[in-house]
């Protein structure tokens, strides 16, 4: 186990007009589960592969513990990689797949067997050790890939979208397994995903990336409650935050003819064009007489315990869809018009031009 440090680490692919990762600064604590998340092409996998030694670091440095591994070959970095594809040898049994790296390192057979059995017990694979990968489900194959990493007892786990090949139900189960496993083992883990739900549910901290640059590094709840900019606000949360264009007028946000009260700390900084953000669960449905924002209901997603109402407002600056979370037993119908409002404490305010957060 060890701390991981990126110090202005840059990756510039030959022939590219700009670097894929311009220079990332990031510290990952010993035993921490750090998730790198962002849209496709944001540089998260490149960052992980630089740590693993699979991509060259053109400038800057990468440290694992006290060792500078910037130009060290992958085999000497003491990391274990879990890939998106399981990368299992089809002609080998589960036990042989898990023990392969140890065999290459010339670890004695008795010790190999002991480590494989210990890992198999942790992962619930004991009864499958004599099977070939083709006889396993996708989730079981991914656990074998995890087992292959565990037996090496590395300082760092590197995981590159390991759940993307699984179906929805298996992804939920396996992400829980991985998070529990990491807590039990206490191994520093860097996990890459484009799925922000995975990031929120698994990471001790989450690093949100865009165009190779870190946008915000924080705990999942802080990312949700205090997004640093418009990109993070729109990316974190499912369904995403409602982002509405407005103008700052006398310390309030004016959306068309509607005035939205905002937190005093934000109102002092507001001027010109602003964007206000409201999470779907922070809307309150009110009577028309209370002057709420009108929402014409177009789609209702019923989830049982609650429901998400999608609608359009027609008020200048409002997005194509306004999303409102309501109770699962609330009687709302398509074609109906809701009127919604919220409290100042639940309104996130951003500068439209810079994207920066103005709220405290």
State pLDDT tens for residues 327-355. 888 888 899 999 999 998 899 999 999 99
Number of Cβ within a 10 Å radius of residue 125? 22
How far apart CA 21 and CA 45 sit, in angstroms, is 10
Q: What sign does the dihedral 338-344-347-351 (CA atoms) show?
A: positive
When pLDDT is cut at 50, 70 and 90, the band that residue 1 belongs to is: low
What is the per-residue pLDDT for 124?
85
Q: How confident is the model at residue 87 (pLDDT cuts 50, 70, 90)?
A: confident
- Residue 129 has a pLDDT of 92
Would you place residue 5 in the very low, low, confident or very high pLDDT band (cuts 50, 70, 90)? very high
Q: Binning pLDDT at 50, 70 and 90, where does residue 135 land?
A: very high
**Beta-carbon contacts of residue 327 (< 8 Å; ≥ 6 apart):** 306, 307
Residue 236, in any domain of the structure: no
CB 23 within 8 A of CB 61: no
Residues 249 and 208 in one domain: no
Say how far apart CA 233 and CA 220 lie, in whole Å: 12
Do 53 and 173 sit in the same domain of this protein? yes
Joined tokens for residue 186: 């206490």
The mean pLDDT value for 119-132 works out to 90
Res 23 pLDDT > 90: yes
- On average, the pLDDT of the chain sits at 91
Looking at the structure, tell me whether residues 175 and 291 fall in a common domain: no
- Residue 123: predicted pLDDT: 86
Confidence band for 94, pLDDT divided at 50, 70 and 90: very high
Please tell me whether residues 11 and 78 are part of one structural domain.
yes
The whole-number average pLDDT for the span 249-262 is 86
Q: Residue 96 pLDDT > 70, yes or no? A: yes
My answer on whether 51 and 120 are in the same domain is yes
Distance of alpha carbon 111 from alpha carbon 108, whole angstroms: 5
Q: Is residue 77 part of a domain?
A: yes
Q: What is the pLDDT of residue 65?
A: 92
Residue 320 CA to residue 242 CA, distance in Å, equals 10
Backbone angles phi, psi at 47, to 5 degrees: -60, -45
Residue 325 to residue 24: CA distance in whole angstroms: 37
To the nearest whole percent, how much of the chain has pLDDT over 70? 100
Q: What mean pLDDT comes out for the span 232-236?
A: 94
Does any domain span residue 360?
Answer: no
Per-residue confidence (pLDDT) for residue 187, from 0 to 100: 92
| Cα–Cα distance, 106 to 87 (Å, whole number) | 21
C-alpha 134: how far from its chain's center? 30
For the packed helices 94-104 and 109-123, what is the interaxial angle rounded to 10 degrees? 130
Q: Quote the tokens at residue 167.
A: 């179906």
97 and 57 in a common domain: yes
- At 317 the pLDDT is 81
Q: Which domain holds residue 151?
A: 4-230
Same domain, 152 and 183: yes
The number of distinct structural domains making up the chain is: 2
Does 9 share its domain with 84? yes
Are 224 and 298 in the same domain?
A: no
Reply yes or no on whether the pLDDT at 162 is more than 90: no
Q: Of 202, 230, 258, at which residue does a domain stop?
A: 230
| pLDDT tens digits for range 34-71 | 999 999 889 999 999 999 999 999 999 999 999 999 99
My answer on whether 216 and 271 are in the same domain is: no
Given this model, what pLDDT does residue 243 score? 94
Domain shared by 200 and 341, yes or no:
no
Is 127 in the same domain as 175? yes
CATH number, position 279:
2.40.50.140
The pLDDT of residue 319:
86
For the chain, what percent of residues have pLDDT higher than 90? Answer: 60
């Amino acid at each position: 186990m060890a701390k991981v440090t990126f110090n202005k680490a840059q990756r510039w692919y030959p022939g590219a007009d700009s670097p894929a990762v311009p220079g990332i600064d990031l510290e990952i604590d010993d035993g921490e589960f750090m998730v790198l998340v962002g849209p496709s092409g944001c540089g998260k996998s490149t960052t992980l592969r630089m740590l693993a030694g699979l991509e060259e670091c053109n400038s800057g440095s990468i440290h694992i513990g006290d060792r500078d591994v910037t130009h060290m070959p992958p085999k000497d970095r003491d990391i274990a990689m879990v890939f998106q594809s399981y990368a299992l040898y089809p002609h080998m049994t589960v036990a042989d797949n898990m023990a392969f790296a140890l065999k290459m390192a010339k670890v004695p057979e008795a010790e190999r067997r002991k480590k494989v059995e210990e890992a198999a017990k942790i992962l619930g694979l004991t009864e499958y050790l004599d099977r070939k990968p083709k006889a396993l489900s996708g989730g079981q194959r991914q656990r074998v890939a995890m087992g292959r990493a565990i037996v090496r007892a590395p300082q760092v786990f590197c995981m590159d979208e390991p759940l993307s090949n699984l179906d929805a139900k298996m992804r939920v189960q396996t992400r829980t397994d991985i998070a529990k496993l990491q807590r039990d083992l206490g191994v520093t883990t860097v996990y890459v995903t484009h799925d922000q739900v995975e990031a929120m549910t698994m990471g001790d901290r989450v690093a949100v990336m865009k165009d190779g640059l870190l946008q915000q590094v924080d705990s999942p709840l802080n990312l949700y409650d205090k997004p640093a900019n418009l990109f993070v606000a729109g990316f974190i949360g499912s369904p995403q935050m409602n982002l509405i264009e407005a103008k700052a007028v006398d310390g309030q946000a004016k959306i068309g003819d509607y005035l939205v009260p905002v937190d005093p700390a934000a109102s002092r900084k507001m001027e010109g064009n602003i964007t206000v953000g409201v999470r779907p669960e922070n809307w309150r449905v009110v009577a028309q007489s209370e002057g709420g924002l009108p929402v014409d209901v177009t789609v209702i997603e019923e989830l049982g315990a609650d429901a998400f109402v999608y609608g359009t407002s027609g008020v200048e600056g409002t997005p194509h869809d306004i999303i409102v979370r309501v109770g699962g037993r609330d009687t709302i119908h398509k074609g109906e018009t809701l009127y919604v409002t919220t409290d100042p404490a639940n309104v996130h305010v951003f500068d439209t031009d810079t994207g920066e957060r103005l709220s405290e």
